[in-house]
Amino acid sequence: MSILTLQNVNKKYNQAMEFAIKGVSFDVKEGEILALVGESGSGKTTLLRLIAGLEHPDSGIISLSGQKIVEGKKSVPAHERQVGMVFQDYALFPHLTILENVKFGLKGSKEEVDSTSRETLKLVGLKEDFSKYPHQLSGGQQQRVALARAIAPNPKILLMDEPFSNLDAMLKDQVREEIRQIIKKTGITAIFVTHDTKDALSTADRIAILHKGYLQQIDIPKVLYENPVNPYVANFFGKRNEMMAIPTEEGFHTSFGFITDPEAKKFKGKVKLLFRPEHGEVVQRDGQQLTGKIVKISYFGSHQMVKLADDEGQRVTIRTNPGRSFDGIDRACFYLWKYDVEEAF
Amino acid sequence: MKAVKRSYYWWNKWTGYSLLILLLVATPLITILIKLFDSPGGSWSHIANTLLFGYFQNTIFLLLGVAALTFLLGVSTAWLVSNYEFPGRKYFEWLLILPLGFPGYIMAYTYVGILDYTGPIQVFLRNTFDIHFKGSLIDIMNLPGAIFILSITLFPYVFLITRSSFLQQSKTLQEASFLLGANRLKTFIKVALPMARPAIVAGIALASMEVLNDYGTVKYFGVNTFTTGIFRAWFSMGDSNTAIYLAAILMVFVFVILFLESIQRGNRQYAAVNGLQKPTARIHPTIGKKILYSGICLSIFLLSFFIPFLQLLNWVSMTWDKVVNKDFFLLIYRSFGLAAVSGLLIVVFSVIMLYALRLSPFKWVKNITKVATLGYAIPGAVIAVGIMIPFIGLDKWIYGTLFSSKTAGLFFSGTLFALVFAYIVRFMAVGYNPVEAGFQKIGIHVNEASRLLGIRSTKTLWKIDLPLIKTSLVSGIILVFVDVLKELPLTLILRPFNYQTLATKAFDMATNEMIAESSNAALIIILTGIIPIIFLNKLIEKR
């Protein structure tokens, strides 16, 4: 069952400017974690703030657990929406202690409020003294308090703005997993904004990709990666190689060599073969494969990237295992085990 | 789908309150605009034919003279203290701001006293060297004298803003200039000065606003300007329409200055391209130059603050036993009360307008607050006339319709209500700016976080925003307090009959040949003014 529904939501900050959000519609299912991904200026944070009630759309409908919270120019104010939010800078109240921060949004008897906030702080794994003030905590600890404060009142939906951007690389992988666990444990529906595809792929159940205010595609990570609906989405998860090719009855003629593929006869005229670096494999020279001149080898520890060029200067990058040695050779053979074909104009 | 109470998001009560405040604050300007369409008063043709040219001449010379002299005093001292190390440099940084605590009119009659036949200089010369002068040592009761007095009280505006601009200029830029072969002087003229230009002009513009606002100094020196013209039309001729016409012309001056300031600034933001740049390191000049630089700063400080301050202390020691009595304490009590109430109200209004701005997604709310804080640029006499006229009208209407009385009583006009109202119009920006800075510093996210936790905007203001900007609120109140205490022209026109404040009492006594006696009230005004100046300086240094 969907808990949040957006129908044709539009938002412009300024009449003269382009749309910040244009015709966006999607559903979020109960208990799922959705990542809003896009470059800066794609409208992802605006979308989050529209759901929170901190910004207002020019038109469109937003419903939260069966109630319309936005319809045209009318809207339910933020404080009545029961939406939890973790800000990028955490926005902890500096004049209140950790415990007081978490208590802030809770209603009920003193004892209830106190025990709920202590439990929530334990849930997020904060082992500090609760009477400390926010400035006495590390960035990671502050984020836990912010998360506890947001989920303590049991909101209908949890929003997080760039939750991992302030953490250093070492901590990031650990925190991503922990936060996912906490959210899943509470069963809360969550939406988070990120510009990092790694965050989205590893943490979210589904990913929505925004570009210039338009929703490009929303689906599970595997589908987005393997079956992108357009080049923008495809390139978003890493660069794709482009190889010009001419289809024949048996396969594709390329400047790197011939690829046997019976599907090729479906195409007419020039085509582009699109493939990710990991969809190719560098192999021993045996004549039947594609070959290119080695231009550059970049070593990344877990893998290396080999840049190969044909005689006309066209270049492709192939991913290979880190142990492979290219000493003393200036040409390498490779084959492609997966590629998309696109008509070239 | 279940229906939920939904409201129009673009409206909230804060926006409504802000509109109301704007309407009130804009009253004087609206009055002047409307009244301009009436025919001019009976004495207008007389003033236009005989006095108007003189008003123009004096006002323009006064503006140009003060601009030149404040530039010279302010920029040179700012350059010295921000670029060189010399004895007393650290102290001059704040000592040179102290003259701001001296209202122009007090500086004026203090200097007249110093140079007078019975003043300390002539007494000393007579007694020691038997040198006699007829009358005053130097006659400063004229246009050049007014320029001098206003410049030594107003140059700290230029000094302050220019100094902070010099401090923001990056070390690397100046080093680049040296490496390209320019010496200190050339670097100053070609790099530092052009970069500081927006700041310098802003400082001079502020000083010019004060010049147009000034009544005490020019009146005392007998220099006729538009402000004295408004007073003459209002009090001596009882001709409100002529006062309005003069006020309108004065406003043209104000808008020209605001306009010139804004076009020279343009979109340029020279200072601090990158916040991480280090400020210029001060250099140690030769001993001779060190003495010279100390000497320059010291003489400016002596002339603009220390000597007149000593003179005031001397007068106080001679007269306090006669002047400081029960009435005098009543005077302090009234003045402080007025200043505190005005400060409090201005800060409350500022919080309301800024909170509307904080919650509203709309640009036009920003414009409301911009207009509401324009009062600092409007000369006090103009505000006074612009408030008096509608209030007198309101009183006539109240007494005419409600009490069917033919004589108008004083319900609004001539009451403290009108006076406080006028202070609010004039000094809104003074309290508004620190509160705005406070809100900016804490950011919007804490407020949004609170509202998302289910707390209404009003409660959020009380529980989150206000506790976090406490110090800004206090500094807003203090800054307004000091300005109200010093204010003269507004108070003179709008005060209830026979109602005295420290400022009006000091001015009345001085103009009635009781200069020495007036020093008691003056000293309190100056001492109160010095406290926030030091406080303000600390704030600038922290930045």
Res. B74: pLDDT tops 80:
yes
3-state helix, strand and coil shares in percent for chain A, rounded to the nearest 5:
25, 35, 40
Residues from chain B contacting residue A91 (CB–CB below 8 Å): 443, 445-446, 448-449
pLDDT digits (tens, 9 = 90+) for B382-403: 888 888 888 888 888 877 777 7
B167 pLDDT tier (thresholds 50, 70, 90) = confident
Q: What is the DSSP letter of B376?
A: G
Cβ–Cβ gap A76/B452 under 8 Å: no
Query: What is the reported pLDDT for B10?
Result: 58
Residue of B nearest to A155 (CA): B453
Ramachandran area for residue A2 (φ above 0: left; ψ -120 to 50: alpha; else beta): beta
Which among B452, B457, B468 has the least Cβ separation from residue A84?
A: B452
Query: What is the reported pLDDT for B9?
Result: 60
Interface test with B, best of A51, A93, A101, A113 (most B CBs within 10 A): A93
Report the mean per-residue pLDDT for chain B: 84
Query: What is the reported pLDDT for A220?
Result: 93
> What are the two backbone dihedrals, phi and then psi, of residue B189, each rounded to the nearest 5 degrees?
-75, -35
Query: What is the reported pLDDT for B70?
Result: 95
Query: What is the reported pLDDT for B541?
Result: 58
> What are the two backbone dihedrals, phi and then psi, of residue B501, each rounded to the nearest 5 degrees?
-115, 175
> Residue A311 has which token pair?
């005689």
Query: How many CB atoms sit inside 10 A of residue B543's CB?
Result: 7
Measured between CB atoms, does A54 come within 8 Å of chain B? Answer: yes
* Residues ≥6 apart with Cβ < 8 Å to B246: B47, B55, B226, B229, B230, B233
Measured between CB atoms, does A61 come within 8 Å of chain B? Answer: no
Measured between CB atoms, does A134 come within 8 Å of chain B? Answer: no
Mean pLDDT of A208-224: 92
pLDDT digits (tens, 9 = 90+) for B234-283: 888 778 788 888 888 888 888 888 888 888 776 555 544 444 455 556 77
Yes or no: say if A311 and A290 are a contact pair by the CB < 8 Å rule. Answer: no
Measured between CB atoms, does B364 come within 8 Å of chain A? Answer: no
Residues from chain A contacting residue B1 (CB–CB below 8 Å): 63, 66-68
Distance from CA of B470 to the nearest CA of A (A): 11
Cβ–Cβ gap A85/B452 under 8 Å: yes
3-state helix, strand and coil shares in percent for chain B, rounded to the nearest 5:
75, 0, 20
Residues 426-445 of B with CB under 8 A from A: 443, 445
Q: Between A189 and B529, where is the model more confident? A: A189
Query: What is the reported pLDDT for A95?
Result: 92
> Residue B186 has which token pair?
């050339």
Query: How many CB atoms sit inside 10 A of residue B255's CB?
Result: 10
Mean pLDDT of A327-337: 85
Alpha carbon distances (Å) from B2 to A64, A77, B5, B7: 11, 17, 10, 16
Query: What is the reported pLDDT for B276?
Result: 45
The CATH architecture annotation of domain A241-343 reads Beta Barrel (2.40)
Burial code (b: 16+ CB inside 10 Å, e: under 16) for A220-249 equals: ebeebbeebeeeebbebbeebbbbbbebee
Cβ–Cβ gap A93/B2 under 8 Å: no
A242: amino acid identity, one letter: E
B252's enclosing H/E stretch is helix B240-265
Distance from CA of A133 to the nearest CA of B (A): 14
Helix (H, G, I), strand (E, B) or coil at B179: helix
* Alpha carbon B235 to chain centroid, angstroms: 24
User: Burial level of A11, CB count in 10 A (0-12/13-18/19+)?
Assistant: buried
Nearest to A91 by CA among A37, A51, A52: A52
Query: What is the reported pLDDT for B274?
Result: 45
* Residues ≥6 apart with Cβ < 8 Å to B541: none
Q: Does domain A2-236 have CATH number 3.40.50.300?
A: yes
> What are the two backbone dihedrals, phi and then psi, of residue B112, each rounded to the nearest 5 degrees?
-60, -40
| DSSP result, A189-215 | -EEEEES-HHHHHHH-SEEEEEETTEE
Which among A76, A83, A94 has the least Cβ separation from residue B6?
A: A76
Mean pLDDT of B205-213: 88
pLDDT digits (tens, 9 = 90+) for B431-454: 898 898 889 888 899 999 999 999
How many CB pairs (< 8 A) connect A and B?
98
Query: What is the reported pLDDT for B135?
Result: 66
Cβ–Cβ gap B451/A77 under 8 Å: yes
Instruction: Give the helix ranges, DSSP H, for B84-182.
Output: 89-95, 104-115, 120-129, 143-168, 171-179
Domain boundaries, chain A: 2-236, 241-343
Distance CA A196, CA A174 (A): 16
> Residue B102 has which token pair?
């001296």
Yes or no: say if A2 and A26 are a contact pair by the CB < 8 Å rule. Answer: no
Within 13 Å and on the Cβ side, how many CA atoms surround B385? 33
Measured between CB atoms, does B10 come within 8 Å of chain A? Answer: yes
Residues from chain B contacting residue A16 (CB–CB below 8 Å): none
Place of tokens 């700290």: B156
* Alpha carbon A248 to chain centroid, angstroms: 39
Residue of A nearest to B452 (CA): A79
> Among the listed ranges A311-315, A338-342, B336-340, B362-366, which one has the minimum average pLDDT value?
B362-366
Q: Between B81 and B275, where is the model more confident? A: B81
Distance from CA of B425 to the nearest CA of A (A): 32
Residue of A nearest to B456 (CA): A79
Which domains, from first to last, does chain B contain?
Answer: 11-39+324-511 (1.10.3720.10), 41-315 (1.10.3720.10)
pLDDT digits (tens, 9 = 90+) for B82-115: 888 899 988 898 899 899 888 999 999 899 888 8
Measured between CB atoms, does A79 come within 8 Å of chain B? Answer: yes
Query: What is the reported pLDDT for B72?
Result: 95
B323 pLDDT tier (thresholds 50, 70, 90) = confident
Alpha carbon distances (Å) from A52 to A30, A100, A183, B137: 17, 23, 18, 74
Strands (E), B240-332: none
Mean pLDDT of B301-321: 90
pLDDT digits (tens, 9 = 90+) for A99-149: 999 999 999 899 999 999 999 999 998 888 899 999 999 888 999 999 999
The question of ipTM being above 0.85 is answered as no
* Alpha carbon A72 to chain centroid, angstroms: 29
* Residues ≥6 apart with Cβ < 8 Å to A43: A11, A19, A20, A21, A24, A210, A212, A213
Strands (E), A162-284: 190-194, 206-211, 214-219, 241-247, 251-254, 257-260, 271-275, 280-283
Mean pLDDT of B152-162: 91
Q: Between B318 and B346, where is the model more confident? A: B346
pLDDT digits (tens, 9 = 90+) for B483-542: 899 899 889 888 888 888 999 999 988 888 888 888 989 999 999 888 777 776 666 555
Query: How many CB atoms sit inside 10 A of residue B1's CB?
Result: 8
